[in-house]
Structure 1
Amino acid sequence: MAKIAFILLCHKNPAGVIQQAEQLTATGDCIAIHYDARASEADYRRITEALADNPGVVFARTRVRCGWGAWSLVQATLNAIEAALEAFEDTTHLYMVSGDCMAIKSARYAKGVLDGHDADYIESVDFFESGWIKTGLKEERLIYRHFFNERESKGLFYASMNLQRRLGLERAIPEDLEIMIGSQWWCLRRKTVQAIMDFLAQRPDVLRFFRTTWIPDETFFQTLVRHLVPEEEIRPRTLTFLLFSDYGMPVTFYNDHYDMLLNQDYLFARKISPEAHELRDRLGVLYASDRQDFAVSNEGQNLYSFLTGRGREGRRFAARFWETESSLGRDRELMVVVSKKWHVAKRLVEAIRKFTNVPTIDYLFSEEHTELPDLGGIQSTLEKRNRHRRSLMRMLFDHFGTDRLVICLDPSHFDLLTDFGSDRSTMRVLEVESTFTDEYLTGHALRVGLAGENTEAATLERLLPTIRYDIRYESERLRDANFPNFGRVRETSSPAENGAAIAEFLDVPAEIGLQIAETDHLFAD
């Protein structure tokens, strides 16, 4: 069975470090600790004294002062690795963690995962081609020598880099290395780590190169593992669950995140709040247990995006200037059926096609496979359709040779409604108001990735009121917009009432509106 040596980098919360070390070593695993030399000496003594009698704990012989983005983080890791390799000869894996990491599975489950695959787990993608770096410096991280820390000495950092640029002092990347990038939270086999240490002893040029790169903890191990290990023995992912906010900051987990964390397809999670004492205690007990029955649903990322994004739809993106200047046409009518239940809206527009000669299109801004004519590629992806929304609609009017067109929209696309509503053309809106049972909302959560097949019932019970409120919010926002040509059909209304609303929406005789409203099973789920 796998035996793990944890490589712990930490700089605060001595009580939490002590608790973490005791929890991780209670099942026979071990840990090598590097405590930042910048931190309090009193705190360091407290940790070493508390763990002095624990045979599963060692400390890095040399402590370094760590700085974000600097080589010191890699050096601290190497120092802890040396201590682990020397002290724990029977370990099979080394797992990189921080003081904010905690296990979200049992040790037995974690070791089963590691035993199941003879592989290294490290996110490792091409530095130049992957797009992993979203903003800021890219090749400059590598081709210039960085002697200053950008966060501590920003002026010197950029002055040094700009001077090298002016003097043409770009340097070459070691020829035999393909630079990779990824998360610093890895789990590697002992033989891989030993191969890295042996490689570094033979290649001081590689050490010299990385010592002056910027943010080397995202490239150093990622590059060397790819250089030394066959691709089929690498799983390009981290086993540590972490989320980032829209501002690029790590999301912190608290006591009420326990169930959600256990449902993720990871072994550890970061960052656990130092104040989340209940969560830390429960996760410590979990790691020492023999529990194997984890219902992995892996909805964490989608769930976080949904909950943090509520209320912002329609206010995040401003209209592009080239879109606001391109009208659909003053004499044209765009008729929009707005419904959260897509199948209901599709039945309605199918009936409109049957009883009128008005062209209709389903959810073209939500479904990639919506049937559309070839418009020169602008229709090929959802991203293109949304970005060039007015041009797309104008081309559809032209394609069908009509001045009247019906489309379906999800109420979450409020930005599209406000954009089309501000156009010189006429927009008519018909809201389809349906009832939503708990069973339907559960299915909706599964379809959109807010829950998985193994999501626990208690988690869904807490989620359903939020989803129901979100749907109600979208409907209220639609009504508050006061669109001039706005109507509504309701599942609870009679066919006569709905028929009148449909007739007004389409500007057709009342009997045609009634025929459409009497469509069999119009609101059925």
Structure 2
Amino acid sequence: MSLGIVMLVHDALDRAEQLVRHWSTHGCPVVVHVDAHVTQEDFSNFTGALSDLSNVRFCRRRHCKWGTWSLVAASQTASEAMLETFPDVQHVLLASGSCLPLRPISEMRSYLNNRPQTDFIESVTTEDVPWTIGGLDIERFTLRFPFSWKRQRRLFDAYVSIQRRLGVKRDIPDGLIPHLGSQWWCLTRATLSAILNDPLRSANDRYFRQVWIPDESYYQTLARRHSSRIESRSLTLSKFDFQGKPHVFYDDHLQLLRRSDCFVARKAWRYAGKLYDSFLSEQPSVMTGAEPNPGKIDRIFTKAIERRTKGRPGLYMPSRFPRPGHEGNMTAARYTVLEGFTELFEGFDEWLTSTVNARVHGHLFAEDKVHFAGGVQDFFGALTDSASLRDYNPKAFLTNLIWNTRGERQCFQYGPRDNQDLSWDIAKDSNARIYVVSGAWAVPLFQSNRNFSDIRGEAARLQRIESEHLTALRSSYARARTQIWSLADFVLNPSEVLQSVVEDIGPQKTGALTSLPKMKPLQGFGQFLQDLKNQGMHPYLMGDFPARHDLVPTTRISRKPYLVK
């Protein structure tokens, strides 16, 4: 007996009963917390239906509300009962009544037995997460939230505004570094016991009662204090839309869920009979030994959100009616912006110069100077390589360069280490052709010999800068033609990407590509990213780099990258 399940149930008791029975009959003790909003009659019927299972317990019930302390309190009560009643349990998984196991329970138990001291909980600092909105990142830990965000939205917003104007702030307890993450964790017995038996628990609980959405921060923060080894990821697949609402999985998601290799998925629709019948069956697994890999399906969800929020080109409707711009083109001719390529390839500028009929510059907006093609100090239009003169008006510098070289295609490199004052300008310029390999800035950090704590801080800084830049490229105001690949997608098929870049820039000197620039070695890069996660930094722009093995480039034709226009 190595795995115990703490389950929070509030509706769909028929499906919850089916899930409890599945966990229980496969050797996992279950402690169930049933929301006190469930009627006594339904609760009695539910407990009676499971009375034949000797390893199922029910804990004291609480009234639970979204985003409040009640959810943490419910998980505490159930976890205490689990640790007290089942001494053989070494890992405890928090699940809901709609969390559907995707793989045989024996595989999950074996996976955890091979990692007896590892806690699986997404836990990253507020500066490193992309999902905090409305300014409530660190403020969720320093302000008070007595009103419900869902049911009392006006009072919630007004009270937050008053606290901001008055400068009211709560003190974060000494020794606590706020972390955020998915509420669906799997902790070792030692870590969970340490959290629940912490001598400062009463003070910790009192503080987190006033934190906004504490179920996404309580265990995530305290695990950092008590855990000896954290894998900053959840074993439960949970996806959210652009409004922060969880995706619901239906019958037509069956193959999608199988491809994820994850152990558990949240949340399955209660009437998705095909999902429950397939995953709760006794059929032998076809994924034995596979590492959980939700990144396999991330692109599908990304494209779904893109379709929902951006719509389709030329399709107008009240929910997505665009706000037209009133300005003309910023520049006089087309030009190409390449982001992440020099970080990935050795001698990329020289290779591209020999391949296309275009002027290929280095980083025109680098911190030290302007890197013109050929390393010249002066360029057409009396432009110099002085960074101070360029930064006096970066927009005018670019428009001058394009104007003075009309008839010759200009290409230059750009990245998060460069001057970012031009980020929105090139995003709104319809003459810009922008190619981005997101997260490529991490390769020089990976190959550096710097202290890892310095690397983590620099990685967080560069990721924030690139994330803001990508926001500009994807905004409704952007008019540039942009193609974006995550670093993981690019590495798998670089030849096709380079071919499309070369074809878009203009006529080639030698026809079809016959050679490619030399890619810098990336052996161990996936583990480098996992180490960043384990240190509390969330590198989400690189795509999915498995920690256990390296990605191998292939000549397979990949799907077209999405366009942001």
TM-score normalised according to structure 2 size: 0.60
- Within the candidate set 239, 245, 267, 2:235 is matched to 239
CA displacement at 1:282 relative to structure 2: 0.9
CA displacement at 1:172 relative to structure 2: 1.4
Q: Does 1:50 align with 2:49?
A: yes
Distance 2:240 2:90 in 1: 31
Q: Residues 125, 113 of structure 1: CA spacing in aligned structure 2 closer, same or farther, 3 A cutoff?
A: same
Kept in 1: contact 2:103–2:285 (CA 8 A): no
- Residue in structure 1 matched with residue 126 of structure 2 by the alignment: 127
CA displacement at 1:228 relative to structure 2: 1.5
- Residue in structure 1 matched with residue 301 of structure 2 by the alignment: 304
Deviations 1:154-206 (A, max 9, x none): 34445555566677653311112122111111000111111111105x54222
- Within the candidate set 244, 255, 265, 1:259 is matched to 255
- Residue in structure 2 matched with residue 103 of structure 1 by the alignment: 101
- Residue in structure 2 matched with residue 248 of structure 1 by the alignment: 244
Q: CA RMSD in A?
A: 4.6
- Residue in structure 2 matched with residue 420 of structure 1 by the alignment: 430
Distance 1:352 1:141 in 2: 52
CA displacement at 1:216 relative to structure 2: 0.7
Q: Residues 314, 96 of structure 1: CA spacing in aligned structure 2 closer, same or farther, 3 A cutoff?
A: same
Kept in 1: contact 2:329–2:429 (CA 8 A): no
Kept in 2: contact 1:124–1:237 (CA 8 A): yes
Q: Residues 31, 417 of structure 1: CA spacing in aligned structure 2 closer, same or farther, 3 A cutoff?
A: closer
Q: Residues 520, 67 of structure 1: CA spacing in aligned structure 2 closer, same or farther, 3 A cutoff?
A: closer
CA displacement at 1:90 relative to structure 2: 1.1
Kept in 2: contact 1:121–1:234 (CA 8 A): yes
2:122 aligns to what SS in structure 1? coil
Q: Residues 312, 46 of structure 1: CA spacing in aligned structure 2 closer, same or farther, 3 A cutoff?
A: same
Distance 2:490 2:292 in 1: 13
Distance 1:296 1:165 in 2: 42
Kept in 2: contact 1:326–1:390 (CA 8 A): no
Distance 1:251 1:181 in 2: 20
- Residue in structure 2 matched with residue 480 of structure 1 by the alignment: none
- Residue in structure 1 matched with residue 406 of structure 2 by the alignment: 403
Kept in 1: contact 2:330–2:429 (CA 8 A): no
- Residue in structure 2 matched with residue 90 of structure 1 by the alignment: 88
CA displacement at 1:92 relative to structure 2: 0.9
Deviations 1:272-303 (A, max 9, x none): 11121110121112698696164866421112
Distance 1:144 1:348 in 2: 53
CA displacement at 1:251 relative to structure 2: 1.4
- Which letter maps to 2:402? F
- Which letter maps to 1:301? D
CA displacement at 1:254 relative to structure 2: 1.6
- Residue in structure 1 matched with residue 71 of structure 2 by the alignment: 73
Kept in 1: contact 2:354–2:509 (CA 8 A): no
Distance 2:510 2:296 in 1: 39
CA displacement at 1:213 relative to structure 2: 1.9
2:244 aligns to what SS in structure 1? coil
Q: Residues 153, 397 of structure 1: CA spacing in aligned structure 2 closer, same or farther, 3 A cutoff?
A: closer
- Which letter maps to 1:174? P
Kept in 2: contact 1:334–1:404 (CA 8 A): no
- Within the candidate set 210, 221, 224, 2:222 is matched to 224
Q: Residues 254, 286 of structure 1: CA spacing in aligned structure 2 closer, same or farther, 3 A cutoff?
A: farther
Deviations 1:427-471 (A, max 9, x none): xxxxxxxxxxxxxxxxxx999849999xxxxxxxxxxxxxxxxxx
Q: How does 1:117-266 map to 2 (within 5 A)?
A: 117=115, 118-128=117-127, 130=129, 132-158=131-157, 161=160, 170-199=169-198, 202-230=200-228, 233-266=229-262
Kept in 2: contact 1:105–1:267 (CA 8 A): yes
Of residues 292-301 and 91-100 in structure 1, the stretch that sits farther from structure 2 once superposed is 292-301
Distance 1:148 1:446 in 2: 40
Deviations 1:46-101 (A, max 9, x none): 211110111121111x2111111111010111111122122212111110111221
Q: Residues 421, 451 of structure 1: CA spacing in aligned structure 2 closer, same or farther, 3 A cutoff?
A: closer
Deviations 1:349-402 (A, max 9, x none): 97763xxxxx356xxxxxxxxx6353446999xxxxxxx99878636536xx52
CA displacement at 1:32 relative to structure 2: 0.9
- Residue in structure 1 matched with residue 342 of structure 2 by the alignment: none
Q: Which has the larger radius of gyration?
A: 1
Distance 1:44 1:127 in 2: 39
2:271 aligns to what SS in structure 1? coil
Deviations 1:16-58 (A, max 9, x none): 0001101111211111111111123332222111101111211
CA displacement at 1:327 relative to structure 2: 3.1
Unaligned runs of 5+ residues in structure 2 are: 315-319, 337-350, 372-392, 412-425, 433-484, 494-502, 515-554, 556-565
Distance 1:243 1:155 in 2: 28
Distance 1:44 1:278 in 2: 26
Kept in 2: contact 1:74–1:216 (CA 8 A): yes
Distance 1:276 1:294 in 2: 25
Distance 2:146 2:83 in 1: 30
Distance 1:290 1:82 in 2: 35
- Residue in structure 2 matched with residue 115 of structure 1 by the alignment: 113
Kept in 2: contact 1:27–1:288 (CA 8 A): no
Q: Residues 227, 275 of structure 1: CA spacing in aligned structure 2 closer, same or farther, 3 A cutoff?
A: same
CA displacement at 1:258 relative to structure 2: 2.2
- Which letter maps to 1:397? I
State percent identity of aligned pairs. 28
- Residue in structure 1 matched with residue 547 of structure 2 by the alignment: none
- Within the candidate set 362, 365, 371, 1:372 is matched to 362
Distance 2:31 2:370 in 1: 55
Kept in 1: contact 2:3–2:93 (CA 8 A): yes
Distance 2:194 2:284 in 1: 31
- Which letter maps to 1:402? T
- Within the candidate set 388, 392, 399, 1:394 is matched to 399
Distance 1:277 1:189 in 2: 33
CA displacement at 1:134 relative to structure 2: 3.1
- Residue in structure 1 matched with residue 496 of structure 2 by the alignment: none
Distance 1:379 1:280 in 2: 60
- Residue in structure 1 matched with residue 331 of structure 2 by the alignment: 328
Kept in 2: contact 1:132–1:182 (CA 8 A): no
